[in-house]
């Protein structure tokens, strides 16, 4: 950084021991405009960050600190478990000019919806609706200069981005009814092992995880104003990734040419959305294999003229575009930085 360059924004990451925390560290340690100065973990306080995130060897000498030792910073990014920031908000918001919360604490705008989907009353309901939903493709203008931003649900993001081209074209079903199925990698379950995530039990699965009632349904309904989102989640034998298949019946099925126009217009100004719809080849539809570690979301479609059904497809890295990548994209917008800064990794192939 030259002598005339502005000083980087000082960042603390609360709850940095998990997979989302590790992805935030990977992205922000390499970011030219942010400096990670603290990272918290209660169980690993005093340990080097690289003890839990060995891929960061040689990139940082920081050690974890307990949450109580956080110092004032420009930006606090919270990767704490759901519910943890909301109960400590008065204490933690005094430490930072801007806060981005990767949990579900402030994603929903209505207290009754939070209670419906999370099974308990929100600890600070007056805050709901005061945070900007952190999906840049849908909330870009509101994110510019924002100081309170929520994260996004990875499965919700896969569905929301699949729907986005049709939403922009005004072609979502009038009755608000869509059926969505997301295939999800094991990292969605977090770092703490459970019976269902123990490797001998998890390896090789194609398992229905949440056939009904998944909490991310609420984000899809809220973002697109839909009334009947039927969402199912299936666990697959993969570490990273969320791939959505969304089925709907528009009043009039667009032609293939019309769909190309819709998708080109929807992705033309979006740096991380790509239309994928090839006539042949192994990768003619969006494919998780190409997206590990990236902030891209690939979008596609298929038409069924016999029934009038339209199938929307999307694929993304649940830890990238579905969590930490979108978070960094939001931080760029919040601080008037180029939106793509620090997010230019294109993935690898073959993988």
pLDDT exceeds 50 at position 1 = no
Average pLDDT over residues 101-129: 96
Average pLDDT over residues 156-160: 98
In a domain, 4, yes or no: no
How many other C-beta atoms lie within 10 A of the C-beta of residue 131?
21
Whether 136 and 245 map to the same domain: the answer is: no
Q: Which residues of 95-128 are buried (b: 16+ CB within 10 A; e: fewer)?
A: ebebbbbbbbbbbbeebebbeebbeeebeeeebb
User: So what's the pLDDT on residue 179?
Assistant: 98
What are 10's strand-pairing partners? 35
User: So what's the pLDDT on residue 197?
Assistant: 77
Do residues 230 and 166 lie in contact, with contact meaning Cβ atoms separated by under 8 Å?
no
Average pLDDT over residues 205-210: 93
Whether 167 and 267 map to the same domain: the answer is: yes
Residue 330 annotated among the catalytic residues of the structure: no
Whether 165 and 108 map to the same domain: the answer is: no
Average pLDDT over residues 215-241: 96
Choose the catalytic residue: 102, 124, 154, 330: 154
CB-neighbour burial class of residue 71 (10 A; exposed 0-12, middle 13-18, buried 19+): exposed
Average pLDDT over the chain reads 95
In a domain, 127, yes or no: yes
In a domain, 242, yes or no: yes
Whether 169 and 97 map to the same domain: the answer is: no
Average pLDDT over residues 224-239: 95
| Domain span holding position 60 | 9-152+321-334
Average pLDDT over residues 25-54: 97
- 257-292: pLDDT as tens digits: 999 999 999 999 999 999 999 999 999 999 999 999
In a domain, 347, yes or no: no
CATH number (domain holding residue 288): 3.30.360.10
User: So what's the pLDDT on residue 265?
Assistant: 98
Whether 13 and 80 map to the same domain: the answer is: yes
Give 200's pLDDT tier (boundaries 50, 70, 90): confident
**Residue 90 neighbours by CB under 8 Å, 6+ apart:** none
| Number of Cα atoms under 13 Å in the Cβ half of residue 131 | 30
In a domain, 1, yes or no: no
Average pLDDT over residues 111-118: 96
Whether 108 and 182 map to the same domain: the answer is: no
CATH number (domain holding residue 17): 3.40.50.720
Whether 55 and 173 map to the same domain: the answer is: no
Give 196's pLDDT tier (boundaries 50, 70, 90): confident
pTM of the predicted protein model: 0.96
pLDDT exceeds 90 at position 84 = yes
| Domain total in the chain | 2
Whether 120 and 238 map to the same domain: the answer is: no
In a domain, 218, yes or no: yes
Whether 160 and 244 map to the same domain: the answer is: yes
Whether 289 and 196 map to the same domain: the answer is: yes
Whether 171 and 72 map to the same domain: the answer is: no
What percent of the chain has a predicted confidence (pLDDT) above 70?
99
Question: How many whole angstroms from its chain centre is CA 329?
Answer: 10
Whether 285 and 328 map to the same domain: the answer is: no
The single-letter DSSP state of residue 221 is: H
In a domain, 123, yes or no: yes
């Amino acid at each position: 950084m030259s002598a005339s360059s502005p000083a980087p924004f000082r960042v603390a990451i609360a709850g940095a021991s998990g997979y989302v925390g590790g992805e935030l560290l990977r992205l922000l340690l390499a970011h030219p405009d942010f400096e990670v100065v603290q990272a918290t973990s209660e169980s690993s306080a005093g340990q080097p960050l690289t003890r839990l995130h060995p891929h960061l060897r040689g990139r940082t000498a920081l050690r974890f600190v307990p949450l109580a030792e956080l110092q004032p910073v420009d930006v606090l990014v919270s990767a704490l478990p759901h519910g943890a920031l909301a109960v400590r908000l008065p204490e933690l918001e005094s430490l930072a000019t801007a806060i981005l919360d990767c949990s579900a604490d402030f994603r929903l705008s209505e207290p009754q919806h939070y209670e419906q989907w999370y099974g308990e009353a929100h600890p600070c309901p007056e805050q709901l609706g005061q945070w900007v939903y952190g999906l840049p493709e849908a909330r870009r203008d509101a994110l510019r200069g924002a100081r309170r931003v929520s994260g996004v649900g990875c499965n919700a993001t896969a569905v929301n981005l699949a729907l986005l081209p049709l939403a922009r074209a005004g072609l979502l079903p009038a009755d608000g009814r869509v059926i969505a199925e997301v295939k999800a990698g094991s990292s969605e379950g977090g770092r703490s092992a459970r019976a269902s995530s123990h490797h001998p039990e998890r390896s090789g699965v194609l398992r229905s995880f949440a056939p009904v009632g998944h909490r991310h349904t609420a984000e899809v309904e809220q973002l697109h104003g839909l009334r009947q989102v039927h969402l199912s989640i299936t666990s697959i034998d993969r570490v990273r990734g969320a791939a959505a298949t969304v089925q709907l019946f528009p009043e009039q099925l667009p032609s293939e040419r019309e769909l190309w126009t819709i998708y080109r217009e929807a992705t033309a100004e979006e740096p991380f959305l790509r239309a994928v719809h090839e006539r042949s080849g192994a990768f003619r539809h969006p494919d998780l294999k190409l997206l590990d570690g990236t902030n891209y979301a690939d979008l596609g479609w298929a038409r069924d003229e016999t029934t009038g059904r339209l199938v929307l497809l999307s694929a993304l890295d649940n830890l990238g575009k579905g969590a930490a990548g979108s978070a960094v994209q939001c931080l760029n917008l919040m601080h008037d930085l180029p939106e793509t800064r620090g997010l230019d990794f294109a993935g690898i192939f073959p993988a």
